[in-house]
Structure 1
Amino acid sequence: MHWYEDDDLWVGFASVMFSARREAEAAELVATSPLLQVAAGTRVLDLACGPGLHVVPLARRGAEVTGVDLSPAMLDRARVACERAGVRARLVRADMREYVDPGAFDLVISMYTSFGYFTDPDDNLRVLRNAFASLAPGGRLLVDVLGKEVLASWVGRPQAVDVEGGTVFMRDTILDDWTRLRTDWTLVRGDTVRRASIVSYLYSAAELRALFEAAGFSDVECFGDFDAAAYDNHARRLIVRGTRAS
C-alpha cells in the first residue's frame, strides 16, 4: 500500500495537516487571493480536497464545487464540514490519476502540495492531462506546491510542531538528486508514538511549467505566493497556473 492510500495516516496526522490555523488560512485565501477569486456559479474542481478546507469557502462564495479525494475518512470530514457551514458540494471518491469529467469545470485547483504524490513522473503528468480534459475552454488549472527553489532555503532542519495533546517532530530528506522529498513525521502524545513517512515528487518552476505545457496548457504562469507575487528569491510557495485555450 502506498502512503497516500493509508487512511490511518490521514486520520492520525489530521491535526497537523488540517489544523484550525490552516482552515482559517484557506478561508482567508479564498476571500482575498486574486488567484482564487470565483464568481457565483463558477464550476470548481478541488483535487485531493481532503476534509474540505477550500471546498467550504469556495462554496460559500457561490461556486459549484466538486471535491475529489481517495480517502473515505477525509471525504466524510468534508461532508460534515459542508453540513456545518450550510453549503452544498459534490464529493467524489476517486484516484486523481483516473478522474476525468470532460469539459465540466471552469477552475481546477490542487492545494497544499497535493500534486506530486506519485513515484512515477508519468502519473503526475497524467493528473495534469486529466485536469486539462476536465476543463472547459478558457478554464484554468492552479497547482500549489513547495518548489525546489523554496525548499533549498530551509529543507533538512528538524521541526517540532505542537498539536492538541502532543507534539509532531518532522524531518525532511532530499532523495535521488533532488527528484523526491521524504518527510518523516513522529507524533508523540503522552506514552503513544505514531510514525509516518510521506514521499513526493519535487519540481522546480521551470520543470513544472514544462509539465503544464506537455499536458496542453497555454499561458502558463508561475507565482511565489497567493498574492500573485513573482516567483523569485522571496517566494514562499510555487504556484503554477495554466489555461486550456480550446
Structure 2
Amino acid sequence: MHWYEDDGLWVGFADVMFPARRVAEAARLVAESPLLRTDPGARVLDLACGPGFHVVPLARAGADVTGVDLSTAMLDRAAKACAEAGVTARLVRADMLHHVEPDTYDLVVNMYTSFGYFTDPGDNLAVLRNAHDSLVPGGKLVLDMMGKEIFAGWVGRPQAVDVEGGTAFLRDTVLDDWTRVRTDWTLVRGDEVRRASIVSALYSAAELRALFETAGFGEVEVYGDFDLSPYDNHARRLIVRGTRVG
C-alpha cells in the first residue's frame, strides 16, 4: 500500500493536514483570488479535494463543482461540509493517476501540495495530462504547492504543531538529489503516539513549468501567491496556471 492509499493516515493526521483555519482561508481565496474566480455555472474540478475546503466556497459562488479524492474518509467529510453549508457538489472516489473526464471542465484546481505523490515522474506527468484532457479548450488548471525554492529556505528544521489535545512533530528529509522529500510525522496525544511518513516530489518553478508544457498546456503562468504576486524571494507558494489551448 502506498502512503496516500492509507485512510488511517488521512483520518489520524487530519488535524495536522487540514487545520480549521483553512476553512476560512479557502473561502477568502475563492472570494478574492483572480485565479479561482469563476462564472456562475462554470464546471470546476477540485482534484484531490480532501475534506472539501474549496469545494464548498466554489459551489457557494455558483460553480458546478466536482470533488475527486481517493480517500473515502475525506469524501465523507466533504459531503458533510457540503450538507452543513447547504450546497451541492458531485463527489467521486477516484485515483488522480487515472481519473479523466474528457472535455468537461472550465477550471481544474489542485490545492495544498496535493501533487507529486508518485515515485515515477511519469505518473506525475500523467496526472497533469489527465487534468489537461479533462478541460474544455480555453479551460485552466491551477496547481498550488510548496516550491523547491521556498522549501529550501527552511527544510531541516523540525516543526512542532499544536493540534486539539496534543502536538504533532514534523521532520523533513531531502531525497534523491533534491527531487523528493520525506516528511516524518509524530502525533502525540496524551499516552497515544501515532507515526507516519509521506514521500512526495519536489519541483522548482522552472521544472513545474516545463512539466505543464510537456503535458500540453499553453500560456503557462507562475505566481508566488494567489494575489498574482511574482514567484521571487518573497513568494509564499508556487502556483502554476496553464491553459488548454486546443
Partner of 1:94: 94
Partner of 2:10: 10
With 130-139 and 16-25 compared, the bigger mean Cα shift is at: 16-25
Give the distance between the partners of 2:94 and 2:145, measured in 1 at CA: 21
One-letter amino acid matched to 2:205 = A
Structure 1 SS opposite 2:141: strand
Q: Deviations over 1:69-88 (max 9, x none)?
A: 00000001100000000000
Structure 1 SS opposite 2:74: helix
Q: Deviations over 1:5-56 (max 9, x none)?
A: 0000000000111111111111111111111111211110000000100000
Partner of 1:83: 83
Partner of 2:115: 115
Partner of 1:55: 55
Give the distance between the partners of 2:75 and 2:15, measured in 1 at CA: 16
Give the distance between the partners of 1:22 and 1:168, measured in 2 at CA: 17
Partner of 1:166: 166
Partner of 1:130: 130
Give the distance between the partners of 2:20 and 2:31, measured in 1 at CA: 17
Deviation, 1:106, is 0.2
Deviation, 1:98, is 0.7
Structure 2 SS opposite 1:167: strand
Partner of 2:207: 207
Give the distance between the partners of 1:11 and 1:187, measured in 2 at CA: 12
Structure 2 SS opposite 1:203: coil
Structure 1 SS opposite 2:34: coil
Structure 2 SS opposite 1:35: helix
Partner of 1:39: 39
Equivalent pairs counted in the alignment come to 246
Structure 1 SS opposite 2:35: coil
One-letter amino acid matched to 1:64 = D
One-letter amino acid matched to 1:206 = A
5+ unaligned residues in a row in structure 1: which ranges? none
Give the distance between the partners of 2:236 and 2:21, measured in 1 at CA: 17
Give the distance between the partners of 1:91 and 1:169, measured in 2 at CA: 32
One-letter amino acid matched to 2:175 = L
Structure 1 SS opposite 2:210: helix
TM-score (norm 2): 0.99
Match status 1:237 vs 2:237: yes
Give the distance between the partners of 1:212 and 1:95, measured in 2 at CA: 20
Match status 1:140 vs 2:140: yes
Partner of 1:219: 219
Partner of 1:68: 68
- What RMSD over aligned residues (CA atoms) do the two structures have, in Å? 0.6
Deviation, 1:63, is 0.4
Structure 1 SS opposite 2:16: helix
Structure 2 SS opposite 1:78: helix
Identity %: 76
Q: Deviations over 1:81-112 (max 9, x none)?
A: 00000000000000001111011000001000
Partner of 2:150: 150
One-letter amino acid matched to 2:102 = P
With 135-144 and 20-29 compared, the bigger mean Cα shift is at: 20-29
Runs of 4+ more than 2 Å apart:
none
